[in-house]
A and B are shown apart, each in its own frame.
Chain A
Amino acid sequence: MIRFDAVTKRYPDGTVAVDSLELTAASGQITVLVGPSGCGKTTSLRMINRMIEPTSGTIWLDDTDTASMATHELRRQIGYVIQHAGLFPHRTIVDNIATVPFLLGTDKKEARKTALELLERVGLPPHFAKRYPAQLSGGQQQRVGVARALAADPPVMLMDEPFSAVDPVVREQLQDEFLRLQQELGKTIVFVTHDIDEAIKLGDQVAVLRVGGHLAQLASPVELLSRPIDAFVAGFVGRDRGYRALGFTTAGTLSTRGEPTVTLGAAIPKGTDTDTWLLVVDAQQAPQGWLDLGADFTGHETVSDELLYRGGTLATQGGTLRAALDACLSSPSGRGVVVDDGGALIGSVTAREVLELIEARETERQP
């Protein structure tokens, strides 16, 4: 557990970056600090490992006042990941990862062995071990940065915008793997980002800071989306917050109706003029896309790949309301396709039905 007790940071030039912050980051959880640029996120984070010294107040690491420890001792117990990884260019990847164990005097062979395991844990192939940072892409370097922070198995990790310098696709990958890793490791993590979507995706709890280093709201992601405490938080959380909040509500069992289908490769059916959109599935009953029966099929005998409309998303039975609603809205027929965990078709729902479900939830929640 990390606890900020009335922590203030005033820089020599008079800027108050953080103003009597009270905040607790629970053990084994991800606490995300989010807020507009210059609101004091980095300052708050770096006060935890004393890369910046607070002007006043106390930061507790469990029952220890961090100010009472030697800075280098404190930092060796805290994993630290920064935006551009900050890998040491003159050291191989394996030695970069083993930095803290080396500092702690761990046997070199032992430390390298652990480092190799970590390399694999963060999703990099073992032959990367003998490379140098300059031979890795930005995303790969960031993974090494995470591995390096984990090397001495510290109970606490501090991460300052670790995924913001990579492209959106890689970022999502890194986020997903980070969550998976955290599920295995259960570290106490303080994570800084200026991206509210990232905060909501990763945080067990999210602290929204406003400029001047004031804590505006500390809440779980759902609560933040559904009950922003004031106009600032509401504005920061964003416009479609209501829709995004649905991503935290499971739909329960959707009552679906059967959906007529045609199998990929079968003959194009004729004369079913009641509805123009027909769902196409493969041999395993997994939905592939929609077929527009009103289209011109000259030159085609069977249902082939290039005839399909593939824009629709799929909802999983037992998934979230957001996924269910999105399946309806993205489907050209207006019917959202619901599949089971194995990806096989169950049936379809309409947007109206999902909305009714949402309304029912809302009335349930009202006191």
Chain B
Amino acid sequence: MIADVVTWLTDSSHWTDTKFDTGIWTQLLAHLKFVGIALAIALLIALPLGLFIGHTRRWGWLVAGANALRALPTVGVLVLLTVIISPHFQGRTDTGFLIPTEIVLVLLAVPPILSNTYAGVQNVEPGIRDAAFGMGMTGPQVLLRVEFPISLPLIFSGVRSATLQLIATATVASYLPLGGLGRFIYDGLAQQDYPQMIGGGVLVAALALLTDLVLATIQRYVVSRGITRRFSSKQAVPDSRIAAVHETDGAHA
């Protein structure tokens, strides 16, 4: 069985388009497109909203409300939205299916980003906020120069978990006549071609892992070392070593 899956995955004819079949590369790109659009929209909604709610400490119920969205059954909502929306797009291929798909995906991605952003900002130490205002920062300056960079680790973890969920769930696009890696899973199931079905699953998992790796790398460079505490070994942390001894001037990787 495993050998069959490997054979399916390593067959180069499965990777490129043929007259009858769409290849893995094309479906991979389609999959990434669904995920990318949904993630961009979710970020545009959840990030400013989370920052605003965390900073002003008003409208906190919105976060709880968004979290309740997680309980919605994805496929159910997808079918419902498709029934409502797609008739308006007769003749224009795919758009009638793409919109419901993206709505479902955005609904899924907003809660983790929103609640993590909100929690990140809200958990900034009161003394730090106090000092920031006391130095004469305006509200937006406190938010963008202090609260946001300090919240980044939590924001990233929200974005990463949203992305993983999107990559897994974007397979439902193939439930409608759209592409994506889900195509192999649904087709494999329908044709009882199990190597293809499992192969599709493996591709989704690999894509998820790879994407998370990319995001983790970005996080490493974006989040200040003062917060991650990844100090180069030449720089001492005060309670573990005598401060002045292990220093070479300005040395930090």
Contact = CB atoms under 8 A, between A and B. Distances in A.
Interface of A: 49, 51, 71-77, 80, 82-92, 99-100, 103, 125-127, 129-137, 140, 145, 148
A74 B244 CA distance: 38
Contact of A132 (B125, B225, B239, B249): B225
Contact of B135 (A103, A126, A133): A103
B56 interface: no
Contact of B237 (A86, A130, A134): A134
A92 to B, nearest CB: 7
B244 A125 contact: yes
30 contacts: A74-B136, A75-B133, A75-B134, A75-B136, A76-B135, A76-B136, A80-B131, A80-B135, A82-B127, A84-B127, A86-B131, A88-B128, A89-B128, A89-B224, A90-B149, A103-B135, A126-B249, A127-B247, A127-B250, A130-B252, A132-B224, A132-B229, A134-B226, A134-B229, A134-B231, A135-B231, A135-B236, A135-B237, A136-B243, A137-B238
A137 B225 CA distance: 17
B11 interface: no
B164 interface: no
B150 interface: yes
Contacts of B137: 72, 103
Interface band, chain B:
20 to 34
B138 A72 contact: yes
Contacts of A148: 135
Nearest to B148: A90
B115 interface: no
B136 A100 contact: yes
Contacts of A73: 136
Interface SS of chain B: loop
A75 B250 CA distance: 32
B47 to A, nearest CB: 18
Contacts of A86: 125, 127-128, 130-132, 134
B141 interface: yes
B98 interface: no
4 shortest A-B CB distances, which residue pairs? A86-B131, A132-B226, A76-B136, A75-B136
Given A91-B226, A127-B249, A135-B236, A80 B134 contact: yes
Contact of A51 (B134, B229, B237, B238): B134
Given A90-B149, A135-B236, A135-B237, 17 more contacts: A49-B134, A72-B137, A73-B136, A75-B134, A82-B130, A86-B128, A88-B146, A90-B146, A103-B141, A127-B250, A132-B231, A134-B226, A135-B235, A136-B238, A136-B243, A140-B243, A148-B135
Best-surrounded residue of A92, A132, A137 (most CB of chain B within 10 A): A132
Nearest to B248: A127
Contact of B243 (A76, A83, A137): A137
Contacts of A131: 235
B227 interface: yes
